[in-house]
Amino acid sequence: MLEQTADVAPDAVVGATSRVWGLAQVGAGARIGEECVVGRGATIDAGVVLGDRVKVQAGALVYRPAVLEDGVFIGPAAVLTNDLHPRAVDPDGQVKTGADWTPVAVVVRRGASVGARAVCVAPVTIGRWAMVAAGAVVTRDVPDFALVAGVPARRIGWVGPSGHRLSPAGEGAWTCPVTGQRFVEVDDQLRETS
């Protein structure tokens, strides 16, 4: 469903079961999977790829060449950047054009969440099921299941697919208080156990 005031490029692909709310913009060549929600006033830039069941909340800005895998959540007014050296003009004072830079990506892996007003400074990858706290500024890759907060963002804990903070369960072991799922921490990385 496309709201009447949504601005969707003619060559953008939007899954039949997805919803794009009013005043949202979806750029040329963008691909939005099934069962996605693009909130009011959000921007999905040209060429951005969203998997299935992705939620991009109101006012979020997702710039090319970002890739959001299945089940990703982008909070209200979050920003995924794409320029390492942003300038309006070159050293001679001439207005820069698209030919003057190469966009770099923010990649958000399956099930991860980026909180309200967080900023992800490309190039970075947010790992599977990771959670970026509201207002955080991510300047380096975030491991799978990591909970990061602050400016710049630092790991302050671990979260499971349920979104709840994991509880310590012995030396290097963690457990989800909701699902009981168990994890092991090795070399600052978290892995699911069977």
Instruction: Read off the pLDDT of residues 66-94 as tens digits, 9 standing for 90 and up.
Output: 999 999 999 999 999 999 889 999 999 99
Say if CB 161 and CB 155 are below 8 A apart: no
Structural domains in the chain (count)? 2
Residues 67 and 37 in one domain: yes
Residues 131 and 65 in one domain: yes
The length of the chain, given as a count of residues:
194
Q: Which 8-state DSSP code applies to residue 92?
A: T
Residues 40 and 54 in one domain: yes
Residues 51 and 118 in one domain: yes
Between the alpha carbon of residue 66 and those of residues 126, 150, 164, 181, 187, the distances in Å are 11, 22, 26, 30, 28
User: Given this model, what pLDDT does residue 1 score?
Assistant: 83
Residues 189 and 132 in one domain: no
Say if CB 72 and CB 112 are below 8 A apart: yes
CA distance linking residue 17 with residue 52, whole number of Å: 10
- Structural domain of 144: 7-159
CATH of the domain at 47: 2.160.10.10
List the chain residues with pLDDT less than 70. Answer: 194
User: Given this model, what pLDDT does residue 163 score?
Assistant: 96
Residues 58 and 15 in one domain: yes
Query: Encoding tokens for residue 193?
Result: 């156990």
User: Given this model, what pLDDT does residue 194 score?
Assistant: 66
Residues 26 and 95 in one domain: yes
User: Given this model, what pLDDT does residue 70 score?
Assistant: 98
CA distance linking residue 8 with residue 150, whole number of Å: 34
Residues 151 and 177 in one domain: no
